[in-house]
């Protein structure tokens, strides 16, 4: 999967050539969406799950799933 996106998979705005993989799913997102992810109440849960999967040898963890916050 290419990490290059002209537009963010989540907000569909321009990435200005800077992207990162979401901690929640396989979306390639812009840095504004990444900043928003870090502020979510369940971010630590997503991060901990990713770390646990990597420790178990799974380098292709698909994340805990993303749902828009209400």
Q: Output the pLDDT for position 69.
A: 72
Q: Output the pLDDT for position 1.
A: 61
Q: Could you tell me the two tokens for 27? A: 């979306």
* Choice between 2 and 42, residue whose per-residue pLDDT is larger: 42
pLDDT digits (tens, 9 = 90+) for 25-49: 999 999 999 999 999 999 999 999 9
From the CA atom positions of the chain, what is the Rg in Å? 12
Average pLDDT over the chain, rounded to an integer: 94
Q: Say how far residue 23 (Cα) sits from the centre of its chain.
A: 3
Task: Report the pLDDT averaged over residues 51-64.
Answer: 96
List the domain boundaries for the chain: 1-57
Q: Say how far residue 51 (Cα) sits from the centre of its chain.
A: 14
Task: Report the pLDDT averaged over residues 19-30.
Answer: 96
Determine phi and psi for 6, rounding to 5 degrees: -70, -35
**CA distance to 10, 13, 43, per residue, from 26 (Å):** 10, 17, 15
């Amino acid at each position: 999967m290419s990490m290059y996106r002209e537009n963010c998979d989540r907000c569909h705005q321009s990435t200005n050539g800077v992207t990162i993989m979401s901690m929640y799913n396989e979306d390639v997102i812009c840095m504004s969406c990444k900043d928003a992810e870090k502020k979510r109440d369940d971010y630590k849960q997503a991060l901990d799950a990713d770390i646990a999967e990597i420790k178990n040898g799974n380098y292709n963890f698909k994340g805990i799933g993303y749902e828009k916050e209400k």
